[in-house]
Homo-oligomer: A and B are copies of this chain.
Amino acid sequence: MNDAISLGLKFNFEKGTLSILNQQRLPHHEIWIEIDSVAEMIQAIQSLKVRGAPLIGVAAAFALAQSALKDTPPDALATEAQALYEARPTAVNLMICMDRMKKVLREDFSKSQLVQTAREIYLEDIRLCDRIAENGAGLIQHGDSVLTHCNTGGLATAGVGTALGILRKAHDQGKKIHVFVDETRPLLQGGRLTTWELHKLNIPFTLITDSMAGHVMAEGRVQKVFVGADRIATNGDFANKIGTYAVAVLAHYHRIPFYVAAPYTTVDPDCASGQDIPIEQRNAEEVVGASSFAPSAVYNPAFDVTPAQLVRGWVLDKAAYSPQEIQAGALQKRI
């Protein structure tokens, strides 16, 4: 296998050709951008041209493998790995992937070994998505309407996705489902990306503004909530796209089961609780853009933290865990 091809990322493991689908231009423009350096990949990650916690880990590994194929010396590769590691602060997958690449650089370096590790990271992410989908699809009943926030599908991972992968699996199993898609301001990953994926998958959906989630819950239109995660603490608290926390509180108030789906690479064994998760603050322009007015101040946290007590289940690749299992320490074992 020489080519890695996912919905938002392409890499040739021999030639080192690397390109990303510019997710900032979707859905109207499907533009692939060639990436020729680690610096370009960092820019693409920071501007959310490539995004999704699992996918940015894979994309960063590919960028480093590309650099190795260009015969960048190990010292310079280590510096590049660290720069990629620091590209965005909240999603831990990027850091865990870079730790794997740095371990090769430190202990076992050869060009082919580094490329091979990038390949393994890629293939593993596909497998992890499949397992998450298997573990989660059983939680969806025929006829369920499921609300989701942000984008957690093929554009956010190398495989079928996390939360959206579960919905896809349930749909493939022949279950009739409907998806309520939060548009997910400020950058509209729900309105632009999740609708695009659901449209391609032929899964029925309704787009709503984030402010309508409580209203559709009160109307009894939502049976489950599934979201992804950017980092899960060992007590089950997790960071995800800003607005996730509010959805969790609203689901709690309406007694609607709320599930988080992620691969083990999203669990941070060094975070005991959500308080330990750094929250990225982004540019004010992302918020102001829609209203086109320069106000005195804008607050723009990219993520928020949802406490474990609002979560009904954690759907990981290994298993779907209950609150009791999380409390008993299911996430505390280092893998």
Find chain B residues with CB under 8 A from A296 CB: 199, 204-206
Given contact pairs A185-B290, A250-B250, a sample of 15 additional A-B residue pairs in the complex whose CB atoms are under 8 Å apart: A27-B292, A28-B293, A191-B287, A192-B292, A205-B295, A209-B210, A209-B287, A210-B243, A211-B211, A211-B246, A212-B242, A212-B304, A214-B243, A215-B242, A246-B246
Find chain B residues with CB under 8 A from A211 CB: 182, 184-185, 210-211, 242-243, 246
Q: Which residue of B lies closest to A215 (CB)?
A: B304
Find chain B residues with CB under 8 A from A192 CB: 291-293
In the complex, per-residue mask of A194-237: 1 if CB is within 8 Å of any chain B CB, else 0: 01101100001111111111111010000000000000000000
Find chain B residues with CB under 8 A from A213 CB: 246
- A196–B296 Cα distance when bound, in Å, is 10
12 A-B contacts (beta carbon < 8 Å): A27-B292, A28-B293, A183-B287, A186-B209, A190-B291, A206-B298, A209-B242, A212-B243, A212-B301, A212-B304, A215-B246, A249-B250
Q: Which residue of B lies closest to A218 (CB)?
A: B245
Q: Across the interface, do B215 and A290 meet the contact criterion of CB distance under 8 Å?
A: no
Q: Which residue of B lies closest to A189 (CB)?
A: B291
Q: A: which residues have CB within 8 A of B?
A: 27-28, 180-186, 188, 190-192, 195-196, 198-199, 204-216, 218, 242-243, 245-246, 249-250, 252-253, 287-288, 290-293, 295-301, 304-305
Given the known interface contacts A185-B185, A207-B298, the answer about A214 and B293 at a Cβ–Cβ threshold of 8 Å is no
